[in-house]
Amino acid sequence: MEQKICIITGANSGIGKQAACLIAQQQVHVIMACRNRGRAEKACQDILSVDSSMSLEIMILDMADNISIKQFSERFAQKFDHLDILIHNAADFDISRKKPAYTPQGIESVWATNHLGPVMLTEALMPLLGKSTDGRIITISSKGLAMLPFTKVDTSDCEFRKRRYSVAKAYYQSKMAQEMYTVWLARQLKGTSVTANCIRVGAVEIDINRYPDLPGFLKKLYSMKKKLSISPKAMAEIYALLALENQFASSNGVIFDEHGKPLKALASKYSPPSIEDVMKITKTYLQGN
Ligand SMILES: NC(=O)c1ccc[n+]([C@@H]2O[C@H](COP(=O)([O-])OP(=O)(O)OC[C@H]3O[C@@H](n4cnc5c(N)ncnc54)[C@H](OP(=O)(O)O)[C@@H]3O)[C@@H](O)[C@H]2O)c1
């Protein structure tokens, strides 16, 4: 049987790194799609120290840069003739950020990294996903949305050009957009060999050293949150289940909770704006790429 191929974005830390390890342990060839080679190599060595026979490869990908996404997709297509699993794990969520950051294309970074990037990458890799007999796209959202029922995508101002910037608002807006995209994509994929599902990740331990600029009170908040959090490995087990287990092969357009249980009737609640409105504005960003 042909070896399965899996791409995990942001696989050099946290849940992505643990998922790379768990999925590679299942004889899958895992591409760690990371923006920083040094951090990716360190993570790759850590994983291989568990079992050096695992099949891992680093490919550079910056989800905040359209050109990087394009180049990554082209390099991937030159090297591989199919793709079985695509996990959109990478995310921009630096909560110490007070002002918006912008991508090389001048787009607000959270919107670009967490929503536009995954849409663009999925579109670029779709021909190769279509060659898999069991293609699976997994997007990552946040359980925090359950506590923020009024979160919506502001289609008139996705990038906070007209309203006061809040990195938390930008983050949850981007996660909401990813959920809506997943439901939209699943509809397009109906009847094909490819599925799209989403996981609402709950509270997971974060490496606080990744955020040296975090003010003291936020550091305290994170250390309190740690007590209520599960380990990245425990969360990665759900990624691996959805990516590999037969029982999920026919799931399509489902938003799963952090335990891998479907959250029923969520899809019908996304309005206003509607899924179509969000995809319409999303497509305007992707024109010309
Ligand atoms: N931890 C939680 O409590 C929690 C809760 C809800 C949802 N989530 C979601 O779970 C996922 C994984 O989070 P985590 O807890 O494992 O966080 P993490 O340890 O901070 O990992 C985030 C990963 O994303 C990468 N990344 C960020 N921007 C990128 C870019 N432009 N291009 C490529 N990679 C980029 C980071 O790479 P660098 O090392 O280069 O920065 C890092 O590898 C995220 O989608 C997050 O939104 C987490």
93-141 pLDDT, tens per residue? 988 898 999 999 999 999 999 999 999 999 999 999 999 999 999 999 9
Q: How far apart are CA 9 and CA 89, in angstroms?
A: 5
DSSP bridge partners of 266: none
d(CA 200, CA 238): 11
Report the residue among 31, 34, 214, 226 best suited for mutation to probe ligand 1: largest number of ligand atoms under 8 A from its CB: 34
Q: Which of 36, 142, 221 to mutate to test the pocket of ligand 1 (most atoms within 8 A of CB)?
A: 142
Euclidean distance between CA atoms 90 and 120, whole angstroms: 14
pLDDT at site 96: 82
pLDDT confidence band for 31 (50 / 70 / 90): very high
CA–CA dist 204, 220 (Å, integer): 16
Tell me which fold the domain 5-286 belongs to: Rossmann fold (3.40.50)
- Among candidate residues 102, 165, 171, 222, the one labeled active-site is 171
Across the beta sheet with 56-60, the strand order is 56-60, 29-34, 5-9, 85-88, 135-142, 194-201, 255-256
Pocket lining for ligand 1, CB < 6 angstroms: 9-10, 12-16, 34-36, 39, 61-64, 89-93, 113, 140, 142, 201, 203-204, 206-207, 210, 232
pTM score, whole prediction: 0.97
Q: Is 171 a catalytic residue?
A: yes
Beta strands in the chain (DSSP E): 5-9, 29-34, 56-60, 85-88, 135-142, 194-201, 255-256
Q: How many CB atoms lie within 10 A of CB 218?
A: 15
99 secondary structure, DSSP code? S
The full set of domain ranges for the chain reads: 5-286
**Atom 44 (ligand 1) nearest CA:** 91
